[in-house]
Amino acid sequence: MAAQEYDVVVIGAGPAGENVAARTVKGGLRTAIVESELVGGECSYWACIPSKALLRPLEVWNAARSIAGAREGMASKPNAAAILARRDSFTNNWHDSGQVEWLRGAGIDLVRGHGRISGDRRISVEAPDGTITELTVRHAVAVCTGTRAAFPPIPGLREARPWTSREATASKEAPRRLVILGGGVVACEMATAWLQLGTEEATFLLRGQSLLPNYEECARESVRKSLVKLGAKLITGVSAKAVERLDDGSVRVSLPSGEFIDADQVLVATGREPRTDDLGLESVGLKSRSWLEVDETMSVDGISGGWLYAVGDVNHRALLTHMGKYQARVCGEVICARARGHFDAKSAGEWSRFAASADHHAVPQVVFTDPEVAAVGLSADQARKRGLDVRVVDYDIGNVAGATLYADGYEGCARMVVDNARNVVVGVTLVGPAVGEMIHAATIAVAGAVPIDRLRHAVPAFPTISEVWLRLLEALDEQLICPT
């Protein structure tokens, strides 16, 4: 049994884990990262990267078809084989050699195998061949194991070998008939992709009444119209009663009404659960399979000595890659500061310098459907539920000069949510082609709590779609002058 000592051990080599390790190495701490699958994690091979690689060519194809002078030269449909090949190139055909080389170059040690916490500042790593390596840690252990698809308790579902987000982003071909359980981001993005890559029938089974339930109504309705136009069917207020893989390879989804839907594949997109099973949490008094509660420095609650951290999706603060990387930067800096003796969690000055706050109120997110949905901060309903007195401003992005130039018949909407008490923007939602590239301006406004009176002096360039900011502020002025 081999034994090694490190300053820091990171469990999980996804974006969050890689960023924690990169920060601690730069801070002079000897760091190892433990990974049981591919270095690069979910995002690189089964989520953000392959899904956007599938969707981007379709976005370009649709954009060209929306402009006179370009549409005339377009093929009648996208080249599915070329798009799938491009996706495969971005995942390096599901090999992690490039990511491993990056670790070496950064000075981060890689320990292959399944990592388990075996006690205070101790990690046991079981390699694929059964070899055990014991790691002792001087300063910190960071759990960055992420999440996996959550399966609802539907009889026969697991046995039917359904798609999760992993199979949906990695499939080599489009199923002719697809049933989708759920209506969130994964469900909508994958339906957008596969309905344009060969799927002929896509049926959503929604427990609620709409797609993207946590987004503004304009976003929900725009995406619904788009998917229906592509050929999707939505059945609301229903859950599957049972799922069965038939002898011919097809799947039968039974409904509570006694009806059933036959399909070639089922996509389970009903949420995520933490990958904290078989992690050894019980050895330090924590509960297996649970989300890890953390403070603003990503330090896990209830751990004496403050040596255990949880970063990214596994702490359930904001299940997005960019937010995991943000938390990782905070965590890495905190670990280094504590190792140098320069950090006191009880010091207000130190806390404000290191504490993560954006994942409470300024989380940007983009849904790469057609049209795109981009949002940051709070929706109007969320703001009101928090007790804020807000003013809501809506504007049709299609009326902006830059939008009319971007695409013939540009359709989109913008909503700005303003906290009347502080006179700052607390939420923005944009819907339309290319709005994902515009959301960072809104993120700065929300994260920086920029007063409306200062935003008026941030002049958008003409003729760009960003001129919607000017129109939103003008509409706000009209509300203030002529309140309804």
Is residue 86 domain-resident?
A: no
CA atoms within 13 A on the CB side of 81: 0
End-to-end CA distance of the chain: 74
pLDDT band per the 50, 70, 90 thresholds, residue 345: low
Whether residues 133 and 26 share a domain: the answer is yes
Q: Average pLDDT of 150-164?
A: 97
Within this chain, do residues 12 and 34 fall inside the same structural domain, yes or no? yes
Domain shared by 17 and 122, yes or no: yes
- Which of 9-18, 336-345, 402-411 is the least confident region? 336-345
Select from 360, 389, 417 the last residue of a domain. Answer: 360
Specify the pairing of strand 272-274 against strand 147-149: antiparallel
Does the residue 390 lie in any domain? yes
359 by DSSP, 3-state: which?
helix
The average pLDDT across 400-415 equals 96
**For the chain, how many structural domains are there in total?**
3
Taking the C-alpha atoms of residue 398 and residue 411, their distance in angstroms, rounded to an integer, is 5
Cα 229-235-237 angle, rounded to 5 deg: 140
Q: From CA 362, how far away is CA 427, in angstroms rounded? A: 8
Judge if 355 and 436 occupy the same domain: no
Q: Hey, what are 84's tokens?
A: 């799938």
Provide the pLDDT for residue 3. Answer: 74
CA 448, CA 362: separation in Å to the nearest integer? Answer: 9
User: With 80 as the cut, is the pLDDT of residue 480 above it?
Assistant: no
Does the residue 13 lie in any domain? yes
Residue 448 CA to residue 462 CA, distance in Å, equals: 24
**pLDDT, mean of residues 414-443:** 97
In a domain, 81, yes or no: no
Answer yes or no: is 446 within a domain.
yes
The 3-state DSSP class for residue 272 equals strand
Shared-domain flag, residues 290 and 394 = no
What pLDDT score does 348 carry?
A: 47
Phi, psi of 117 (to 5 degrees): -75, 125
Angle between helix 97-106 and 15-26 (nearest 10) = 20
**Helices and strands in the chain: count of H runs, count of E runs:** 16, 21
126 and 14 within one domain: yes
What is the pLDDT confidence band of residue 351, given thresholds at 50, 70 and 90? low
CA–CA separation, 269 vs 482, rounded Å?
45
28 and 116, same domain (yes or no): yes
Domain range enclosing 414? 371-481
Q: Which residue in 311, 321, 326 sits closest to 276, CA to CA? A: 311
- Rounded to an integer, what distance in angstroms lies between the CA atom of residue 237 and that of residue 221? 17
In whole angstroms, what is the distance from residue 319 CA to residue 229 CA?
A: 30
Contact (Cβ atoms closer than 8 angstroms) between residue 78 and residue 240: no
Q: Does 252 map to a domain?
A: yes
**Are 25 and 54 within 8 A, CB to CB?**
no
Q: What is the pLDDT of residue 350?
A: 58
State the pLDDT at residue 361: 87
Q: Which has the higher per-residue pLDDT, 343 or 26?
A: 26
Which of 270, 304, 335 is the C-terminal boundary of a domain? 270
Predicted local confidence at residue 13, as pLDDT? 98
Stretch 30-51: mean pLDDT: 97
Chain mean position to CA 114: 24
Three-point CA angle 161, 162, 167, nearest 5°: 105
Q: Is the domain of 299 the same as that of 210?
A: no
Average pLDDT for the chain: 94
Residue 143 sits in a domain whose CATH number is: 3.50.50.60
Is the pLDDT at 364 greater than 50, yes or no?
Answer: yes
Average pLDDT over residues 248-254: 96
260 and 277 fall within a common domain: no
Q: Is residue 331, in this structure, part of any structural domain at all?
A: yes
Residue 37 pLDDT greater than 60, yes or no: yes
Q: Are strands 122-126 and 132-143 parallel, antiparallel or unpaired?
A: antiparallel
Domain co-membership, 209 together with 348: no
The residue-averaged pLDDT of 252-271 equals 97
- 28 and 166, same domain (yes or no): no
- The pLDDT-based confidence of 1 (bands split at 50, 70, 90) is low
Residues 217 and 295 in one domain: no
Q: 179 and 253 in contact (C-beta within 8 Å)?
A: yes
CB 144 within 8 A of CB 32: no
CB 323 within 8 A of CB 301: no
Residue 163 lies in a domain: yes
Per residue in 95-129, pLDDT (tens digit) is 999 999 999 999 999 999 999 999 999 999 999 99
Beta-strand pair 251-254/260-263: antiparallel
Final residue in a domain of this structure, among 337, 360, 383:
360
Judge whether residue 481 has pLDDT over 80. Answer: no
Give 36's DSSP letter: S
Residue-wise pLDDT tens digits, 58-106: 999 999 998 999 888 888 899 999 999 999 999 999 999 999 999 999 9
Above 60 in pLDDT, residue 349?
no
